[in-house]
């Protein structure tokens, strides 16, 4: 029997927190799930088999980066993104919309889509709902994201409203273009993205528009864009409940370990963030006792592992002193070892949350986590 195209099963709930699985053709995704970011067809400093061995069920690829280099048509000629990067499990691709807004120059936004100049070589490109769906199909994405516009949360409400309405029209065009994708549409899933910044009324309208169209899963967009954790949690107090109960909810671009715990507590099932990989290259390690800056001189002769509780290869075999030395010296191995630890720590945190929800002790888990991690 072939695996289902997309089947979300909730195994247990505890308060608003849920744990379960998403079954897909290329494998099962345990939720709540953290997706390592593989921006340019690589999770930076990590071999794909290591990404898998530390517990990742799915990774994220970036449409914007891949369309510019090496190009979606080229990836397709090379057999698709999975074969190209040697990752045979599910891949979620973003739509490119967010990164066009944050990275590209000379942007021109119309009802049709966005034209922009590449941040790499200045070449001109266009993204629209139809082109974004085509690129994600050429890459062979398992979970495709709708093309949307993400305005800054500090814009006037009228602007945020107009942008949300544009994103909902683009969501319908994304749905239609995805559905016309033949074999790819029959074997992959499409997620809608709720917008509306911090405004409850706009979030309701966005959720209603998305439910009307119908998606396999629903992302909460427009958060983690500088509004701060308090405002993000205040929005997450209502936004997940506006989306269908029986579909996964994905909080895009989040976050710090304490963001993940607070968001799971509020009903989120999926996350992605560059933080563990980027921090791994910058000398910041995440531990159950909080973040640690390994460049700090106090680690210079510390023979202890980065985290006594962590089961990763880095913590089993290398000292804080060695990691300190590698990062001070700019050695590539420093980035590799710390990235592996950070991603392993994130996966261990997700597993601990899944276990706590399954055993209906999530509130106690979250309290213990905050006591140790934040010192509160």
Q: How far is the CB of 274 from Zn ion (least distance, A)?
A: 19
**144, 215 contact by CB (below 8 A):** no
Q: Which is nearer to Zn ion, 43 or 312 (CB)?
A: 312
Q: Which is nearer to Zn ion, 308 or 355 (CB)?
A: 308
Give the neighbor-by-neighbor strand order of the sheet with 17-24.
Answer: 6-14, 17-24, 27-31
Q: Which is nearer to Zn ion, 6 or 318 (CB)?
A: 318
Q: How far is the CB of 175 from Zn ion (least distance, A)?
A: 42
Task: Please give the Cα distance from 12 to 272 (Å, whole number).
Answer: 22
Residues whose CB is less than 8 angstroms from the CB of residue 81 and which lie 6 or more positions away in sequence, other chains included: 41, 61, 66, 75, 87, 91, 93, 139, 140, 141
Give the count of residues interacting with Zn ion (CB under 5 A).
5
Task: Please give the Cα distance from 45 to 334 (Å, whole number).
Answer: 10
Among 131, 324, 341, 354, which residue interacts with Zn ion (rule: CB under 5 A)?
Answer: 341
Exactly one of 57, 216, 269, 272 is catalytic; which is it? Answer: 272
Mapped to the 3 state alphabet, what secondary structure does 299-345 carry?
HCCCCCCCCCCCCCHHHHHCCHHHHHHHHHCCCHHHHHHHHHHHHHH
Q: How far is the CB of 311 from Zn ion (least distance, A)?
A: 7
Indicate the DSSP class of residue 7.
Answer: E
**80, 141 contact by CB (below 8 A):** no
Is 179 labeled as catalytic in the residue annotation?
no
Q: How far is the CB of 312 from Zn ion (least distance, A)?
A: 3
**CB neighbours of residue 70 within 10 Å:** 15
**151, 160 contact by CB (below 8 A):** yes
Q: Which is nearer to Zn ion, 249 or 341 (CB)?
A: 341
Could you give the string, one character per residue 311-340, with x where binding to Zn ion holds by CB under 5 A and - elsewhere? -x-xx-------------------------
253-312: contacts with Zn ion (CB under 5 A): 310, 312
Is 258 labeled as catalytic in the residue annotation?
no
Q: How far is the CB of 55 from Zn ion (least distance, A)?
A: 12
Exactly one of 94, 148, 269, 307 is catalytic; which is it? Answer: 94
Q: Which is nearer to Zn ion, 173 or 341 (CB)?
A: 341
Active site residues: 94, 272
Residues that bind Zn ion (CB under 5 A): 310, 312, 314-315, 341
């Amino acid at each position: 029997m072939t695996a289902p195209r997309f089947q979300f099963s909730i195994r247990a709930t505890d308060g608003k927190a849920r744990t379960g699985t998403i079954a897909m053709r290329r494998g099962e995704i345990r939720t709540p799930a953290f997706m390592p970011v593989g921006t340019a067809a690589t999770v930076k400093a990590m071999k794909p088999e290591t990404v898998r061995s530390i517990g990742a069920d799915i990774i994220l690829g970036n449409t914007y980066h891949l369309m510019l280099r090496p190009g979606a048509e080229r990836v397709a000629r090379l057999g698709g993104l999975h074969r190209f990067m040697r990752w045979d499990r599910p891949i979620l691709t973003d739509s490119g919309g967010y990164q066009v807004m944050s990275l590209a120059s000379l942007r021109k936004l119309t009802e049709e889509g966005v034209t922009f100049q590449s941040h790499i070589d200045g070449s001109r490109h266009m993204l629209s709902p139809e082109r974004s769906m085509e690129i994600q199909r050429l890459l062979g994405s398992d979970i495709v994201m709708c093309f949307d516009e993400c305005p800054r949360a500090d814009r006037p409400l009228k602007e945020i409203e107009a942008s949300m309405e544009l994103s909902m029209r683009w969501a319908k065009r994304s749905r239609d273009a995805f559905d016309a994708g033949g074999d790819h549409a029959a074997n992959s899933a499409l997620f809608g993205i709720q917008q509306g910044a911090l405004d409850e009324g706009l979030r309701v309208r966005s959720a209603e528009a998305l439910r009307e169209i119908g998606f396999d899963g629903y992302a909460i967009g427009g958060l983690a864009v500088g509004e701060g954790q308090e405002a993000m949690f205040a929005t997450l107090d209502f936004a997940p409940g506006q989306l269908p109960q029986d579909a996964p909810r994905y909080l895009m671009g989040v976050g710090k370990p304490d963001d993940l715990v607070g968001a799971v507590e509020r009903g989120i099932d999926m996350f992605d963030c560059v933080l563990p990989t980027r921090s791994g290259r910058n000398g910041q390690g995440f531990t159950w006792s909080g973040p640690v800056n390994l460049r700090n001189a106090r680690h210079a002769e510390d023979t202890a592992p980065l985290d006594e509780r962590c089961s990763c290869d880095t913590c089993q075999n290398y000292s804080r002193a060695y990691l300190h030395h590698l990062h001070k010296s700019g050695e590539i191995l420093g980035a590799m070892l710390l990235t592996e630890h950070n991603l392993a720590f994130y996966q261990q945190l997700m597993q601990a949350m899944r276990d706590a929800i399954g055993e209906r002790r999530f509130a106690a888990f979250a309290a213990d986590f905050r006591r140790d991690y934040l010192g509160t």
